[in-house]
Chains A and B, each alone.
Chain A
């Protein structure tokens, strides 16, 4: 479903942060991308959600080959993805329900559909009772759950998680990982970047180590 071949990426005149990255992620798979801070995990994710362009190489997601994608197709392609971040990136002027609705409004869903799906997702992340609260009225863990609900709104092919537990305490981190597992069991593919190997070491999923611009996969 996601195929990355021989990606190279550098910024300005510096050494390439990604030298030759290749990976494949199948439908319904959950994979961890592991490595210390600054190694290029976020850059790789940014390439996948088309916030950056690679210097060379190829990225294919479903039917989209990013090397040939037209500018007009980018928003449509992004609706096939869900992305969550360490700092949640919720819109402060929108309530939890409205933040989730945003992704569906963009996709042109009907009011009824938005209302039903929004409630369903907030129930899934355990925050239906907080639907009318603004981000500044929610805890960090709750904000991240709203961000997950928003990311899942359009039933994405792939959920990208960029250090989603980075701002959370250990209890909330554990709870979030359990939620991601639950979402994965329902069929959504997940690629999660983290520097915290301890938090995921016991989890029975593929782990890809990014180091010195190259991916190394741990064999079980």
Chain B
């Protein structure tokens, strides 16, 4: 019989005989991982929203009314050469008017005798321009180009979103670390509480010639299994919650398969670490 098979069999035997205590540990870890999982989903959705916003965001570079064709070409060349610029599109006065009509309706432009709208370049930016202070610098430099009247963008929305994302990510990381510590502590403490009743078993096993590995491996497996089941259960409930939220409130992205698997595995590792530390601390393994 292989060593690991014996350890697994022993772990299942202990779980079977102390099922209530095991279930209690699983449920406690489930609650802790539910909190961690909720934050992971919030962070993911905030990040996706920000990315989407970045991709959709563009600059409107309005040109002076008296601008000549050489200055226009110079501006276009400068834009195309800029590493933060992804795409450049020229919008002439007719197109600008057409868009205005499309957006606000015929009544909006009905009274106009001449077209007052300026020519412009519509510029789509690389998403990394929003990192650090690149965005503000870019806007300043484009504003200084000869022939540019003004630049239209939504700086406050972008910076607000960046701030929110940073806050959520920071909170998520801090809370995630706290949950990891708390979960490890819960598993460790559960093992510690039950060490008293296992002490005789450990003693008997030592007496019949069992080495440390043989004695403690089943308990490490129980810790890992507790973490795995607790986190798997929390992922399941979060998935159901997300489906309900999508149907009733608004679309929300759930963790993808690799992320979900990593989350469950992390739960197992936390359980393993918690039991290892408890055994090491209280039994001098």
Contact = CB atoms under 8 A, between A and B. Distances in A.
A189 interface: no
B70 interface: no
Interface in A50-78: 51, 72, 75-78
Most buried by B among A51, A91, A94, A150: A91
Interface stretch (A103-111, A173-181, A208-216): A103-111
Contacts of A91: 200-201, 204
B6 interface: yes
A103 B207 CA distance: 9
Contacts of B200: 89, 91
Contact of A93 (B6, B14, B209): B14
Contacts of A79: 208-209
A90 B1 CA distance: 22
A154 B209 contact: yes
A128 interface: no
A89 B203 contact: yes
Most buried by B among A75, A76, A90: A75
A76 B214 CA distance: 13
A106 B208 contact: yes
Contacts of A78: 206-209
B204 A89 contact: yes
B208 A102 contact: yes
Interface string B188-220: 000000000000110111111111001000000
Interface residues of B, number: 18
A165 B209 CA distance: 24
Contacts of B210: 75, 106
Most buried by B among A51, A77, A89: A89
A32 interface: no
Contact of B211 (A75, A93, A105): A75
Interface in A84-132: 89-94, 102-103, 105-107, 110-111
B183 to A, nearest CB: 26
B101 interface: no
A19 B17 CA distance: 45
A7 interface: no
A4 interface: no
Given A78-B209, A102-B204, A154-B209, 16 more contacts: A51-B207, A75-B210, A78-B206, A79-B208, A79-B209, A89-B200, A89-B207, A90-B204, A92-B17, A102-B208, A103-B209, A105-B6, A107-B209, A110-B1, A150-B208, A153-B208
6 contacts: A76-B209, A92-B17, A94-B13, A102-B204, A106-B208, A111-B1
Interface of A: 49, 51, 72, 75-79, 83, 89-94, 102-103, 105-107, 110-111, 150, 153-154
